[in-house]
Amino acid sequence: MYKISAALSALLLSLTTTAAAYNVKLSGECVGVKVYTDGLIITDTMTLTDIYGKKVNVANSCGIKKGDIIKKVNNTDAISVNIVLEAVKDGSVNLTLLRNGKEFCVDVTPIQTNEGAKLGLWLRDSTAGLGTITCFIDNRFVGLGHGICDIDTGNIMPVRNGIIQDCSDISITKGEKGQPGAISGAIDGKKLGDVTANKHHGISGTMLSPSEGKDIETAEKSEIRPGKASILCDADGKGVKEYEIEIKRIVLSQSAGKDMVIKITDDELIEKTGGIIQGMSGSPIIQNGKLVGAVTHVFVNNPTKGYGVFIDNMLDGVG
């Protein structure tokens, strides 16, 4: 295996295609994110015992797999789990499923159990959590720096719609080696905007009112170098503040959300959070007066280190 020097890494990076710079407004605000799936995600399947004591797995018999997405139930859009619960009461159900970008249909006969008719499918129609908005272009925003993935399947969640809103009662669980920390809070505040897309490099959407924040130019990939930088985040619920970090190296692996390795060097932030914690994803990274990217992942065994994504990748298709 050959090692690539920092100079060679920068040279190779400069040869890649770069996007034009944008003028954006910085954020760094921690918000609540609620999204509703485009279809119902099958997060798992199970074997049931029918009223005669026989073990039956409907999924196996019909070719249904974990990770499949139910798009329609009896030709009705699958917008909530309740649609399936109601349909199985009437007997055989026709499901339109999506797998690897292709749709197909299956007829499923529910199993009659002592608790009623069931399909033996675990389904998910929504999720919620905290994350950080990176920046705004006019009334558009980008945030998180990585896609919202289903916790059971690991797949990017297909989003039908969603919202961002204020969160309250912020508290911090510090990160430790082997145990990532987290920002916690109540997602019950004023609606700030709508989530319209969930991609590998983050979420995006529209704001309900004009955004506030410092104007800044984005950096092209070729401008980003290992060295001193800073991030903006709300690490204690008291407002957005700037903290020192270091960009340790640029990564050429093309893995989504892992374009650079960063390290938290600010003693105040380390004292508050232990380093990078859940909820900080999307915190803008600034170097030489330009927005270069956003925080995405933490190294579980060293919470002062993690990954960042290039801002070019986050803004691709958004501006």
Residues catalogued as catalytic? 146, 266, 281
Alpha helices in the chain (DSSP H): 6-14, 58-62, 81-87, 267-273, 311-315
Closest listed residue to residue 165, CA positions, set 281, 35, 33: 33
Contact between 314 and 134 (Cβ < 8 Å): yes
User: What is the bridge-based pairing of β-strands 30-45 and 121-137?
Assistant: antiparallel
Assign 20 to helix, strand or coil: coil
Could you give phi then psi for residue 231, rounded to 5 degrees? -125, 155
Q: Count of CB atoms within 10 A of residue 166's CB?
A: 16
**How far is residue 217 from each of residues 286, 290, 311, measured CA to CA in Å?**
10, 5, 11
